[in-house]
């Protein structure tokens, strides 16, 4: 050991001398060992004619034993002061930088799906399940439309609004408001605007009664869209004897069908009406709605491929994670899916849930808007997990730009920002790119301010 010390240069001698001290501190060297080391240090220092307590001198800096010991003691104390709890906290904080994988019950949408081809196969299976949920095979034969115009007005010199009717069954006519902008360059995009649970829903959608926030036809016609606002089949001109939205009479007429199957089929016929119009581009048709019209929107978009863009606002909750799930199959008033009631009462899930139905829309454009305080807050938080899983399908379809969602705290509403998002979504996906294109300010558009104006 001494021979190695003599052969080493000055810095190596420092390391050579300090290493035993460091090792002693790490392994818990006892007092006797530390005393022996100190004696060795003094001996070595005397041989070099260094003052007592000086370990080495590189010509510029003196390193003493007290300096080294002080440093080691400080380090040792700081390490000793780290309690097991602090060490645990350090590890906990470190784990926060990791990105955990989010797991949820909605993962069944992509279980076993690895490729786009896998998804397309699963999609075909889900479409079959969806049509079975609707009991679509029990719908009547589609009749000729026989469109009739009952009234017509021009609104603010901007668009023509008509009250029309057309056959949806051989013995049943639906009524709707139809808005057509007066200044249309070429063929215009069109939208099916679906109202919520309101006695005079189509009138509200036209901006004639109740809440102007829900006057979608008026808003959208002013933006250049052709809009049809059909009445729900138990409202408006077809209110049943027991009152608005009572489906008892419907189920007597169609015991094997469902109310959702009925209104989805009728909304699909509303697309037929739009496609008869010379002003409409049949390849640029969208749908949007609030509440009953909100889930009516994604039911329609999943059912009819002609819907190229859709936006659902404050739609109802899904089957799973829903303490009020039997509302989908009540025993009175408005009954969405009568055939599944007994299974729901037994706690058995239907063969398809809403995330799988919405995923059928992909890769076509879809936006969901909802409020965390619309109904049960925990159920609404599940909606976020559901939507994130649906995004996986859009990514698989290489169309992530066609999917979006907005979550707010405005309860069951169609507030200004929600309307702007829905209408902007339609502009993005149904209008030419120039309609939403932005521009820099060009020098030609600028004018020098007059002195008087500049002073202001």
Q: Identify whether residues 187 and 328 lie together within a single domain.
A: yes
Asked which of 35, 64, 82 is the last residue of a domain, the reply is 82
Residue 142 lies in a domain: yes
Residue 333: is its pLDDT beyond 90? yes
Asked which of 55, 82, 109 is the last residue of a domain, the reply is 82
Rounded CA gap, 307 and 336, in Å? 22
Q: What angle do CA 417, 406, 119 make, to 5 degrees?
A: 145
What pLDDT, in 10s, does the model give residues 254-302?
999 999 999 999 999 999 999 999 999 999 999 999 999 999 999 999 9
The Cα-based distances of 368 to 265, 316, 402 in angstroms read 22, 11, 11
| Residue-level pLDDT at 135 | 98
Asked which of 53, 82, 111 is the last residue of a domain, the reply is 82
The mean per-residue pLDDT over the stretch 356-369 comes to 98
- Residue scoring higher pLDDT (405 or 75): 405
Residue 93 lies in a domain: no
Q: Are 300 and 264 in contact (CB under 8 A)?
A: yes
Mention every residue, 6+ apart, whose C-beta is less than 8 A from residue 87.
Answer: none
Residue 451: is its pLDDT beyond 70? no
| Residue-level pLDDT at 385 | 98
Do you know the residue count of the chain?
456
Give bridge partners of residue 166 from the DSSP assignment: 174
Q: What angle do CA 215, 228, 170 make, to 5 degrees?
A: 130
In terms of Cβ atoms closer than 10 Å to its own Cβ (0-12, 13-18, 19+), residue 297 is buried
Q: Which helix (H) or strand (E) holds 301?
A: helix 292-303
Q: Identify whether residues 40 and 134 lie together within a single domain.
A: no
Question: What SS3 class is residue 172?
Answer: strand
| Residue-level pLDDT at 16 | 45
The mean per-residue pLDDT over the stretch 369-397 comes to 98
| Residue-level pLDDT at 183 | 92
Q: Identify whether residues 65 and 163 lie together within a single domain.
A: no
Return the structure tokens found at 438. 């932005």
| Residue-level pLDDT at 413 | 98
Range with the largest mean pLDDT of 2-16, 35-49, 55-69, 415-429: 415-429
Residue 145 lies in a domain: yes
What does DSSP assign to residue 363?
A: T
**Mean pLDDT score of the chain, rounded to an integer?**
87
Residue numbers of the domain that contains 279? 121-434
Residue 105 lies in a domain: no
Residue 260 lies in a domain: yes
What pLDDT, in 10s, does the model give residues 96-148?
899 999 999 999 999 999 999 999 999 999 999 999 999 999 999 999 999 99
Mention every residue, 6+ apart, whose C-beta is less than 8 A from residue 327.
Answer: 316
Residue 91: is its pLDDT beyond 80? no
Q: Identify whether residues 340 and 393 lie together within a single domain.
A: yes
Alpha helices in 81-223 (DSSP H): 84-95, 116-134, 201-205, 216-221
- Residue scoring higher pLDDT (209 or 28): 209
| Residue-level pLDDT at 7 | 45
Q: Identify whether residues 343 and 417 lie together within a single domain.
A: yes
Q: Identify whether residues 177 and 278 lie together within a single domain.
A: yes
Residue 406 lies in a domain: yes
Residue 264 lies in a domain: yes
| Residue-level pLDDT at 456 | 55
Q: Identify whether residues 32 and 161 lie together within a single domain.
A: no
Q: Identify whether residues 264 and 355 lie together within a single domain.
A: yes
Residue 373: is its pLDDT beyond 80? yes
CATH of the domain at 365: 3.40.50.1820
| Residue-level pLDDT at 63 | 47
Going 211 to 329 to 359 to 174, the CA torsion angle's sign is negative
Q: Identify whether residues 50 and 179 lie together within a single domain.
A: no
Looking only at Cα atoms, what is the longest distance across the chain? 119
Neighbours of 435 (CB within 10 A): 12
Lowest mean pLDDT among 98-102, 229-233, 450-454: 450-454
Q: Identify whether residues 50 and 182 lie together within a single domain.
A: no
Confidence of residue 93 (pLDDT cuts 50, 70, 90): confident
| Residue-level pLDDT at 29 | 41
What pLDDT, in 10s, does the model give residues 196-211?
999 999 999 999 999 9
Q: Identify whether residues 57 and 183 lie together within a single domain.
A: no
Residue 114 lies in a domain: no
| Domains held by the chain: number | 2
Cα 280 from chain centroid?
Answer: 30
Q: Are 361 and 301 in contact (CB under 8 A)?
A: yes
Neighbours of 412 (CB within 10 A): 15
What pLDDT, in 10s, does the model give residues 145-162?
999 999 999 999 999 999
Q: Identify whether residues 414 and 267 lie together within a single domain.
A: yes
Confidence of residue 82 (pLDDT cuts 50, 70, 90): low
């Amino acid at each position: 050991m001494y021979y190695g010390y003599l052969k080493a240069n000055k810095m190596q001698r420092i390391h050579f001398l300090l290493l035993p001290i460091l090792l002693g501190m790490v392994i818990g060297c006892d007092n006797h060992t530390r005393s022996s080391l100190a004696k060795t240090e003094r001996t070595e220092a005397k041989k070099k004619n260094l003052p007592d307590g000086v370990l080495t001198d590189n010509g510029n800096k003196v390193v003493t034993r007290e300096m080294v010991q002080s440093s080691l003691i400080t380090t040792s104390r700081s390490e000793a002061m780290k309690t097991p709890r602090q060490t645990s906290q350090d590890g906990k904080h470190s784990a926060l930088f990791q990105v955990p994988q989010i797991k949820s019950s909605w993962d069944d949408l992509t279980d076993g799906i690895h490729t786009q081809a896998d998804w397309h196969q699963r999609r075909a299976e889900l479409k079959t399940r969806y049509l079975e949920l609707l009991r679509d095979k029990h719908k009547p034969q589609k009749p000729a439309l026989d469109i009739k115009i009952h009234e017509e007005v021009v609104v603010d010199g901007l668009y023509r609004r008509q009250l029309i009717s057309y056959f949806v069954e051989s013995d049943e006519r639906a009524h709707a408001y139809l808005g057509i902008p007066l200044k249309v360059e070429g063929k215009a995009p069109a939208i099916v605007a679906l109202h919520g649970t309101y006695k005079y829903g189509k009138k509200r959608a036209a901006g004639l009664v109740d809440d102007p926030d829900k006057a979608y036809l008026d808003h959208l016609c002013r933006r250049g869209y052709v809009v049809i606002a059909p009445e729900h089949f138990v409202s408006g001109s077809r209110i049943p004897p027991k009152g608005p939205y009572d489906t008892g009479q419907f189920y007597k007429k169609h015991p094997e069908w469902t109310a959702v199957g009925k209104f989805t089929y009728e909304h699909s016929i509303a697309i037929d009406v739009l496609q008869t119009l010379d002003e409409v581009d049949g390849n640029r048709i969208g749908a949007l709605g609030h509440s009953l019209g909100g889930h009516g929107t994604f039911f329609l978009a999943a059912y009819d491929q002609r819907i190229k863009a859709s936006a659902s606002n404050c739609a109802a909750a899904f089957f799973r994670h829903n303490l009020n799930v039997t509302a989908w199959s009540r025993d009175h008033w408005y009954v969405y899916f009568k055939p599944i009631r007994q299974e729901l009462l037994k706690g058995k899930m239907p063969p398809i849930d809403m995330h799988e139905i919405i995923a059928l829309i992909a890769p076509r454009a879809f936006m969901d808007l909802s409020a965390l305080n619309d109904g049960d807050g925990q159920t609404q938080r599940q909606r976020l997990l559901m939507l994130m899983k649906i995004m996986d399908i859009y990514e698989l379809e290489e169309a992530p730009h066609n999917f979006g969602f907005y979550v707010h705290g405005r309860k069951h509403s169609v507030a200004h920002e929600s309307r702007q998002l829905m209408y902007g979504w339609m502009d993005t996906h149904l209008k030419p790119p120039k309609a939403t294109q932005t521009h820099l300010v060009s020098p030609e558009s600028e004018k020098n301010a007059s002195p008087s104006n500049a002073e202001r």
